[in-house]
């Protein structure tokens, strides 16, 4: 339990607005529309599906690091 408190304190200090927003959207649902941000996806299965639909959601451009990683590792590689 102590490590969870430490994790919360560190995350709040590093991201005072984003971390609570991420926690809140995770509790609301797998995909939540946030005005000014867009759609926040917190469900692992849905995020994987979205990231693998290259025709609908491009994740790389000519010469980007994602293009290079995709060529090296394959189409299922994710670069953050």
Q: Where are the domains of the chain?
A: 1-42, 45-80
Q: Are 34 and 40 in contact (CB under 8 A)?
A: yes
Tokens found for residue 61? 């451009």
Tokens found for residue 47? 């995020």
pLDDT at 21: 83
Across the chain, what does the average pLDDT equal?
80
Asked whether the predicted pLDDT for residue 19 surpasses 90, the reply is no
pLDDT at 62: 65
CA distance 70 to 65: 8
The pLDDT tens digits of the residues spanning 27-55 come to: 888 888 888 878 888 888 888 887 787 77
Q: Are 48 and 39 in contact (CB under 8 A)?
A: no
Instruction: Record the pTM.
Output: 0.49
The pLDDT tens digits of the residues spanning 60-78 come to: 566 666 667 777 787 776 6
Residue with tokens 């867009």: 38
């Amino acid at each position: 339990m102590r490590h969870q408190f430490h994790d919360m304190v560190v995350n709040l200090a590093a991201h005072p607005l984003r971390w609570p927003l991420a926690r809140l959207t995770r509790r609301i649902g797998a995909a939540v529309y946030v005005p000014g941000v867009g759609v926040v996806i917190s469900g692992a299965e849905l995020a994987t599906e979205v990231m693998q639909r290259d025709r609908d959601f491009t994740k790389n451009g000519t010469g980007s690091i994602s293009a290079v990683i995709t060529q090296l590792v394959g189409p299922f590689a994710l670069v953050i």
